Every structure is written in structure tokens, then in C-alpha cells.
A and B are shown apart, each in its own frame.
Chain A
């Protein structure tokens, strides 16, 4: 007999997992603002970051509404501590160099896009609506990150070496995306969110094709980190939140 799962709590957790992942990745990508190697890529990264923050507002907005404790998206983003965050470990990894950032983006996009396609079929109309809107943005993110991973992987000796290091470093953080826990399973059984195991084949196919074209070798070994979705994070997230949350915490009534 499986554990009884409170569906409201499961949905709140599921929405926080989505919203926290887009928030943390959005903030990470925004750290490039003014630092990208060329102006055009700087603007492209800022666009991606803004798309992700916009999606965060929708996911966390719905989570707050669901929860019914008068917390809006801002309250959830800026007034929770690190152990309350439910984002994937992959997205809290530091930016590294430009190639590293793009590899992280690609590995996430290759999951995010089919995930949103599944979410757009959700039995919960609010979830389906957000996913449909976000899906168009993310289809472009994936097109862009896949293209740049191929160009840099199959580029110069130096860019190839950097992309291979990025892939080797980030690979052990990808398993979490497709490994369901009781919350994921309950949401999938209720038809609210897609079955994560079912996403594996799509993700594998996409990632294998792109990495092959990029002449990059998929690392051996099956060890995968986990815990982000349950609130167990690396030290990097705390540092990021300290920067991200400082202003609204120091000046709670600040407006502009």
C-alpha cells in the first residue's frame, strides 16, 4: 500500500519545483548581464533570463494562490530560505565560462521543452495554460542552446575542450530531472504533471543527437546527484539567494 499523498500539498510542491527551477536558472543567467563575450549574446542571455523569470511569476503565483496563505510569487521567491527551495540541482550550478553556461542551459532546455509539452496536456487547466505560454519561449531557448552547443563543441580545439569539461562536470546533475519521487508520481497519476520516467527517452534522444553533432562524448558512469527537489542543496544556492534576496529582505516595503 502506497503512502497517502495530500494532493494539494503535492501540487504546491510540484509548482514550486517548476517555479524555483526557472527562478534559480533565470537568476544565474541574469548574472551574465554586461559580462557576455559579445553584445549580441549578452542581449540573448538577458532575454532568456527574463523569459525564465516571467515563467517563475506564473508558476510561483499559482503556487501561492493554491497554498492560500496569502503568499504571492514575490513572497515565495524572496522570503523563503535555502532549504525551502525545490529547484533542480543542475540549475544552481555556478555559471563557469560561457560554454559551461550554455551546456547547463542545453541540458535543462532538453528536459524543460518536453516537460512543458506534457504539462500543456495537464488535467489542471491553470497548469496547462502556463505551460502553453512558456512552451513557445522554451522552444526557442532549446533551439538556441542546442545550436551553440554544437557550434562550440565542434568548434576550435579550445572550445571543444571547454565544452567537454562542462559536459563532464554537469552530467551527474541531470539524473534528478527524470527521477520521480512520491510527489512526482502522485501528480503524474492524477494527470496533472507528466510522468518523468517517460521524459527520459525524449531527453536521451535529443541530447545524444546534439552531443554527437557537437563531437562531445557522453561521460561514463551512472552516478547522479539528487536532493534539490526535496530541498537538499549545494552550498552554491545559499550564496546566490543571499545576493538575490538581500534587497527585498533589507527593505521589505521598497517600491520603484
Chain B
């Protein structure tokens, strides 16, 4: 039965968080039940104040085999990090 239910990705906004974070996935026949399952599976310990459910099929993921061309070119471009500025003392910790 569960094999026929589509997979959903669950995002929860925590008590103090501003953004929804991916917490896991589950099976459900539709969005309404996915929401209910997410409530039962992922917010049992008072983790959340808001839930998003997204069909896993709606997510386009980068391919692991393209990791090289995708991410490696940025490795030697240290100048892209804003770490070359002198921060005035009065600014304090940033």
C-alpha cells in the first residue's frame, strides 16, 4: 500500500527559526494527509510552528555526477569571500 503513495518532503519552521528547514520525507496519498502525517511524525516534541509539504517529484536536484563542473570552479576563487576588508574596531564582531 505504502509503495503506491507518493513521497513528500517536509519542511518545518521551528520555534525560533525564521526559515523552514528540511526535516525528512514521508509517504501520503495527498497534500492534506501529508500535512497531517508531518504533524504526527515530525512535530511530536514541540519542534514546529509551521509546516510545508512538497511533493518530492517537484524537486529538481543537482546530479552527483556533475559535482565537479558544478562546484569545483568556486574552490579557488577565494576573492569571492568578503574576508579582505578591514573591519573598523568600533563595528565589533560581525
Q: A interface vs B, CB < 8 Å?
A: 37-40, 43-44, 47, 144, 147
Contacts and interface: CB of A to CB of B under 8 A. Distances in A.
Contacts of A37: 1-2
Contacts of A39: 2, 26-27
B22 interface: no
B86 interface: no
B37 interface: yes
Contacts of A147: 32-33, 36
A144 B5 contact: no
Closest 6 CB pairs of A and B: A40-B37, A44-B40, A38-B2, A43-B40, A43-B41, A47-B40
B1 A40 contact: no
27 contacts: A37-B1, A37-B2, A38-B1, A38-B2, A38-B5, A38-B27, A39-B2, A39-B26, A39-B27, A40-B26, A40-B27, A40-B28, A40-B37, A40-B40, A40-B41, A43-B37, A43-B40, A43-B41, A43-B44, A44-B36, A44-B40, A47-B40, A47-B44, A144-B36, A147-B32, A147-B33, A147-B36
Contacts of A144: 36
Interface residues of B, number: 13
Given A40-B37, A147-B36, 9 more contacts: A38-B5, A39-B27, A40-B26, A40-B28, A43-B37, A43-B40, A47-B40, A144-B36, A147-B33
Interface string B38-82: 001100100000000000000000000000000000000000000
A38 B36 CA distance: 14
B75 to A, nearest CB: 40
B32 to A, nearest CB: 8
B37 A44 contact: yes
Contacts of B26: 39-40
A12 B33 CA distance: 40
A98 to B, nearest CB: 10
Interface string B1-30: 110010000000000000000000011100
Contacts of A44: 36-37, 40
Which of A37, A38, A39, A47 has most chain B Cβ within 10 Å? A38
Contacts of A47: 40, 44
A156 to B, nearest CB: 11
Which of A40, A43, A44, A147 has most chain B Cβ within 10 Å? A40
A43 B28 CA distance: 13
Nearest to B37: A40
Contacts of B1: 37-38
Contacts of A40: 26-28, 37, 40-41
A213 to B, nearest CB: 14
Nearest to B44: A47
